[in-house]
Amino acid sequence: MNPVTVVTGANSGIGRATALHLAEHGHTVYGTVRSAARAGKLLDGAEERGVGVELVELDIADDRSVRDGIAQVLDRAGRVDHLVNNAGIGGNGVVEEMTSERLLEVVDVDVMGAVRCAQAVLPQMRERGSGTIVNVTSVAGRIGAIAQGPYVAAKWALEGLSEQLAIEVAPFGVRVAIVEPGVTKSSIFGKNTDAPNTTGAYDEQYARMLQMYAAGYLHASDAVEVAEVIRTAIETDDPRLRYPVSWGGVGITEGRAAMTDEDWVAMGRIESRDEYIAEFGRRFGIDIST
């Protein structure tokens, strides 16, 4: 019997790559999209590969939409074996300048969206005694990514909730995996280049953020790389809680873990951008010069 897997945000980027990759490897995939009419690339990709992906219209920012969407999957498939919480949005801004509205919007989508979907599938996973929930976070959930306050807040929150969920559901045979992409080719990358700088006091902080984006644009990993790691996280016989992946993923997570908090703060005091780039490379093994 093929495993039934729900992939949120399946219309583009990591979500589309994951939905197609899992379908190619024997999963019955239900891809959630906000509009089925705009899922042409996903359906074309499935046709090219000779696989099927079932569409479910679902908005992860809406309680009723999530309940109704997951209920449709359960009615059609009878169960959900695996949930991939991939859908999300970005959000830039230094802490002083980010608006409460933007922060709440990003948290509602990136954190509560994953929580809503997990809550919808967990009762039947718990009763069955098996299941996997994969939460796609980011390396920005492991470091204070400069000038990306809303995104960092949301991804750190999702990391913490994922750790908590993992120990809560372990007695029921349900696993949680956290996949932490670095820079990956996806639609969120092109949409997340705003630099508010409303005070004019943070020119250098925004410049360093955009420096990272520019380097990432040149080196971004294909979304299929993340899809492969997600499949491993679901199917492995030797599960881990965290899976860093993509350009910068391993280097940033391992580099930050090797630093003291004081080392991290000291990086913010570096005045020269060239010196900052050199220190970034030394600490994380990543060249962000362009």
Place of tokens 């945000």: 9
Give CA–CA dist 196/96, Å, rounded.
Answer: 11
pLDDT given for residue 53 in this prediction:
98
Strand-pairing partners, residue 148, are 93
pLDDT tens-digit readout, 186-223:
766 556 667 788 899 999 999 999 999 899 889 999 99
The verdict on residue 214 lying in a domain is no
Backbone dihedral angles phi then psi of residue 241, each to the nearest 5 degrees: -80, -40
Residue 151 a catalytic site member: yes
The closest of 255, 90, 98, 83 to 169, measured between CA atoms, is: 83
The verdict on residue 226 lying in a domain is yes
pLDDT given for residue 217 in this prediction:
85
Which pairing describes strands 174-181 and 28-33: parallel, antiparallel, or unpaired? unpaired
Give CA–CA dist 37/42, Å, rounded.
Answer: 11
Complete edge-to-edge strand list for the sheet that includes strand 28-33: 53-57, 28-33, 4-7, 82-85, 131-136, 174-181, 242-245
The closest of 59, 82, 91 to 132, measured between CA atoms, is: 82
pLDDT given for residue 187 in this prediction:
61
Domain of 179 in residue numbering reads as: 4-196+222-259
CATH code of the domain containing 70: 3.40.50.720
The verdict on residue 281 lying in a domain is no
Radius of gyration for the chain, computed over Cα atoms and rounded to the nearest angstrom: 19
pLDDT given for residue 224 in this prediction:
97
pLDDT given for residue 276 in this prediction:
97
pLDDT tens-digit readout, 134-181:
999 999 999 999 999 999 999 999 999 999 999 999 999 999 999 999
pLDDT given for residue 290 in this prediction:
82
> Which residue of the set 30, 151, 206, 213 is catalytic?
151
The verdict on residue 289 lying in a domain is no
The verdict on residue 63 lying in a domain is yes
The verdict on residue 31 lying in a domain is yes
Give CA–CA dist 211/228, Å, rounded.
Answer: 28
Is 106 in a helix, a strand, or coil?
helix
- Is there a contact between 146 and 102 (Cβ–Cβ < 8 Å)? no
Place of tokens 């499935």: 46
Strand-pairing partners, residue 183, are 247
Count of domains in the chain? 1
The verdict on residue 19 lying in a domain is yes
The closest of 115, 142, 91, 92 to 245, measured between CA atoms, is: 142
pLDDT given for residue 186 in this prediction:
73
pLDDT given for residue 234 in this prediction:
98
The verdict on residue 166 lying in a domain is yes
pLDDT beneath 70, residues of the chain: 187-193
pLDDT given for residue 266 in this prediction:
97
